[in-house]
Amino acid sequence: MNLYGDYANVSAMCRILEKSGEDVAVDRLSLGDSADFSGYDFIFTGSGTENNQKLVLNDFMKYRDQLKSYIESGKCALMTGNSFEMLGKSITDAEGKTHDGLGLLGFTVKEQNKTRMTSDVIYKADFLETPLVGFVNKCSEIEGNESPLFKVSLGLGDCEGCAGEGVRLNNLFGTHLTGPALIKNPHFLEYTAKLVLGRQPETRHLEYEKAGYEITLHELTKRMNENRG
């Protein structure tokens, strides 16, 4: 589950924590592994192919209760791309087969194989002062999401015509936003790192990420305004 360079989100989190004076250790889990989530301060899963998503979902079922307890404890997690779709009731694939989800949220997912839906995006979050930017590439639509993470200003939402995208459950964030999301949006990185640390992180090393964000936001806002005009 590492399409689109999503693992760079982990690298970005490690770097900001280390710059903030913390010793950081990373466990990388694969199919068949076992782990104790209570020992973690941050959990990340990234995008995968539709086939790999189902393999991971089947294996991840053994962690369901652990993940539920982890989320309820208020610890931080980020699930990008189609990995957060596993949190819902079910995923119906392009062949019409329905796969049970983790059931931690009430939404359902339906895939299709006719075409992939792609878009540059601008999203707004009520917990951040400035918008988020990035890219979405998916073949699925989400119905019944009652707790969207973002409000769509430009690009794709959960489904056609939806004004919301992604999910938030306590301090677990799920979004199709790739880029990677934490590198493209250093203010989101700062926010999540603060949740992990319980204090303000060191951010002076993020000058290049901040400059890149400003350029991207400017260009996408310009495009959005031209489309409206």
- What is the pTM for the complete model shown? 0.96
Q: What is each CA distance from 99 to 9, 43, 54, 57, in whole angstroms?
A: 28, 23, 8, 9
Structurally, the chain folds into a number of domains equal to 1
pLDDT at residue number 179: 84
CATH no. for residue 94? 3.40.50.880
In this predicted structure, the answer to whether residue 1 has a pLDDT above a threshold of 90 is no
The stretch 19-42 carries a mean pLDDT of 95
pLDDT at residue number 180: 94
Cα–Cα–Cα angle for 168, 95, 83, rounded to 5 degrees: 25
Q: Which helix (H) or strand (E) holds 216?
A: helix 207-228
3 state DSSP class of 45: strand
Residue 206 lies in domain: 3-228
In this predicted structure, the answer to whether residue 22 has a pLDDT above a threshold of 70 is yes
